[in-house]
Chain A
Amino acid sequence: MKLIAFYRIPVLGILACISGSAFAQTPQYSPHIQVLAASCAACHGTDGNSVGGTPVLAGLDSLYFIRQMKAFRSGERTATVMQRHAKGLTEDEIVGLAAFFSTQPRVAGKLPPSMKLEPSHEH
């Protein structure tokens, strides 16, 4: 299948990057994918670890991610907002994001506790 074929190539690229990375704690991705993936955090949490009702993307199967994004793009899967993001990305970016999120460890996202406004807080 075409889908599987174009999915494999960048994963090999990523594996190649892991050995040469300067910071070895996590696999290194191209800066483009790293920066783009971080832009998803507003709704899906840091590295895809959502604290709200949005799906947790961390550790999500990459093929599932790619299929869903393609379905958002084609309209096969209806959505309120995801179709806008899926349509704005290239196929390579979707594949890169899928690989990135699939390798992120699932950790319980933390919500910062809210607190009383101090009377001194004045802009």
Chain B
Amino acid sequence: MSIDRRSFLKLSSAAALLTGCSPMLRAAGRPKPRVVVVGGGYAGAAAAKYLKLWGGNAVDVVVVEPSSQFVSCPLSNLVLGGSKTIDELTFSYAALRKNHDLQWVRDTVVAIDPEHKKLILGRSDFGYDKLILAPGVDFIYDALPGLESEAARKQVPHAWKAGEQTVNLRRQLESMPDDGVFVMSIPKAPYRCPPGPYERVCQVAFYFKQHKPKARIIVLDANPEIVSKKGLFTKAWADLYPGMIEYRPNSVVVEVDVAGHTLMTEFDSIKGDVLNVIPPQRAGIPAQLVHANNVDQRWCEVDFLTYESMVVPNVHIIGDAVSAALPKSAHMATSQARVCANAVLAALTEQPIDTSPVFANTCYSYVTDHMAMHVANVYRYNQAKKIMLSAEGGGVSDAPSEVEADYARYWAQNIWSDVLT
């Protein structure tokens, strides 16, 4: 046994010299290195799939995800607009698990012991060689007095993680008086899906225009201006929904009076029939448990060649939880997942690593049920600055169009197929 091990190490070192990457010692007692992926959203699902697609039988991959279903945030604003149902955006993990031989654990992370490379779940423990956290975002309610209780958070939903909350907000819009007021608050950037709140305004306006044309929308934006696709959204609101939308920049909600249906900003109080508060966000709880959220205690600083945490060795972070001057989008999450999967495989096996990652991001926003527009960029690793920078040629649509709504649909179909089958 020890001879075998020594020969193995020798071979591995020889391979390392040849390929320029270092193999890692395997944890004793396990035949293969084990990678545990926490989170089955876009980032986690993509990481798990590509680890197996590229790593084959060289690694065991365990996915830990508390939910039984995948519900897509992209396209979920269309549920509010009425052109999609939540069931059309809800999927099983069965195909992904089966097609790629993933060990799937439906459980919640209780603690992480990075020193002993151990993950403690509600019902079991797992040792790991590499841990990939794709924890998504956690909402920060500390600065939103009035929304402490679960009941309050149902009455004033965020609808910023698709599922029950999306259905809840849609029902509230349906039962709102015909001349009612919908008030929505947007947190300071960075938050998940930069153009998402403004797309939501379009979708709620689209619903109102057809069913409640006297209704109004007040947007309280904590940012000084529209964060993404500004010119396009401003024009879409004016052209498609004239007189319906009142946009107030620099409006930070500081308190919520749930019973009084009122949002308080520093200088004002705004009453509405339906309130939608998108809270400020930070890296999801698993990242907080291991103290990887070292940037403002919110986001995780990573090495952009490996997505390994800059503060916790052997723990990699991908997706919306990462601190980067990159949009927190689903496409970005899957791209980060694949750079990470490649780097993790390089560290555990003799596979070579990509030392200059380049990836694309395409993000569509719907302004009606059949018109959409994009923002698209290629991002390239900058060796000197050690960050991902936008390459030449990126930008946004000239105008929303029907053809781009088709492309948005194809985007959704393909990214679902990519991460879920």
Tally of contact residues, A, Cβ under 8 A? 49
In chain A, positions 51-87 with a C-beta closer than 8 Å to chain B are 51-54, 73, 80-81, 83-87
Contact across chains for B50 and A38 when beta carbons are under 8 A apart: yes
In chain B, positions 98-131 with a C-beta closer than 8 Å to chain A are none
Which residues in A have their C-beta under 8 angstroms from that of B56? 23, 25
Contact across chains for B87 and A117 when beta carbons are under 8 A apart: yes
Contact of B417 (CB < 8 Å), options: A36, A112, A119: A112
* Docked CA distance A120–B71 (Å): 13
Known interface pairs A31-B351, A81-B362; A42-B92 also in contact (CB < 8 Å):
no
Q: Flag whether A19 is at the interface (Cβ < 8 A).
A: no
Closest chain A residue to B345, Cβ basis: A31
Contact of A31 (CB < 8 Å), options: B164, B346, B403, B418: B346
Q: Flag whether A2 is at the interface (Cβ < 8 A).
A: no
Complex interface bits, B145-168 against A, C-beta within 8 A gives 1, otherwise 0: 000000000000000010111010
Contact across chains for B414 and A51 when beta carbons are under 8 A apart: yes
Complex interface bits, B373-411 against A, C-beta within 8 A gives 1, otherwise 0: 010111010000000000111110100010110110111
Which residues in A have their C-beta under 8 angstroms from that of B67? 121, 123
Contact across chains for A84 and B393 when beta carbons are under 8 A apart: yes
* Docked CA distance A109–B418 (Å): 9
Which residues in B have their C-beta under 8 angstroms from that of A34? 54, 342, 354
| Stretch of B185-193, B224-232, B308-316, B331-339 that contacts chain A | B331-339
Contact across chains for A110 and B71 when beta carbons are under 8 A apart: no
* Docked CA distance A42–B418 (Å): 7
Q: How large is the interface on B (under 10, 10 to 19, 20 to 34, 35 or more residues)?
A: 35 or more
Known interface pairs A34-B54, A52-B413; A122-B164 also in contact (CB < 8 Å):
yes
Q: Flag whether A115 is at the interface (Cβ < 8 A).
A: yes
Which residues in A have their C-beta under 8 angstroms from that of B342? 31, 34-35
Contact across chains for B414 and A45 when beta carbons are under 8 A apart: yes
* Docked CA distance A88–B358 (Å): 9
Contact of B360 (CB < 8 Å), options: A39, A118, A122: A39
Which residues in A have their C-beta under 8 angstroms from that of B96? 112
Instruction: Determine how close the nearest CB of chain B comes to the CB of A94; give it in whole angstroms.
Output: 11
Closest chain A residue to B396, Cβ basis: A84
Q: Flag whether B180 is at the interface (Cβ < 8 A).
A: no
Q: Flag whether B172 is at the interface (Cβ < 8 A).
A: no
Which residues in A have their C-beta under 8 angstroms from that of B359? 35-36, 39
Contact across chains for B95 and A39 when beta carbons are under 8 A apart: no
Which residues in A have their C-beta under 8 angstroms from that of B404? 80-81
Contact across chains for A22 and B350 when beta carbons are under 8 A apart: yes
Known interface pairs A112-B91, A121-B71; A42-B393 also in contact (CB < 8 Å):
no
Most chain B CB within a 10 A radius of its CB, from A34, A73, A112: A112
Instruction: Determine how close the nearest CB of chain A comes to the CB of B48; give it in whole angstroms.
Output: 13
Contact across chains for A115 and B392 when beta carbons are under 8 A apart: no
* Docked CA distance A110–B413 (Å): 9
Complex interface bits, A76-105 against B, C-beta within 8 A gives 1, otherwise 0: 000011011111110001000000000000
Known interface pairs A87-B392, A88-B377; A41-B415 also in contact (CB < 8 Å):
yes
In chain A, positions 6-55 with a C-beta closer than 8 Å to chain B are 22-23, 25, 30-32, 34-36, 38-46, 50-54
Which residues in B have their C-beta under 8 angstroms from that of A83? 393
Closest chain A residue to B18, Cβ basis: A20
Known interface pairs A22-B351, A44-B414, A112-B417; A117-B71 also in contact (CB < 8 Å):
yes
Which residues in B have their C-beta under 8 angstroms from that of A89? 358, 378, 391
Q: Flag whether B213 is at the interface (Cβ < 8 A).
A: no
Contact across chains for B376 and A85 when beta carbons are under 8 A apart: yes
Which residues in B have their C-beta under 8 angstroms from that of A123? 67, 161, 163-165
Closest chain B residue to A36, Cβ basis: B358
Contact of A85 (CB < 8 Å), options: B339, B351, B360, B414: B360
Which residues in B have their C-beta under 8 angstroms from that of A22? 349-351
Q: Flag whether B90 is at the interface (Cβ < 8 A).
A: yes
In chain B, positions 53-103 with a C-beta closer than 8 Å to chain A are 53-54, 56, 58, 67-69, 71, 86-92, 95-96
Contact across chains for B71 and A88 when beta carbons are under 8 A apart: no
Contact across chains for B68 and A32 when beta carbons are under 8 A apart: no
Binding site for B on A (CB under 8 A): 22-23, 25, 30-32, 34-36, 38-46, 50-54, 73, 80-81, 83-89, 93, 109-123
Q: Given contacts A87-B391, A88-B358, A113-B92, list 15 more A-B pairs with CB under 8 A.
A: A25-B56, A34-B54, A34-B354, A35-B339, A35-B342, A43-B362, A43-B407, A46-B418, A80-B403, A80-B404, A86-B393, A112-B421, A114-B89, A121-B69, A121-B163
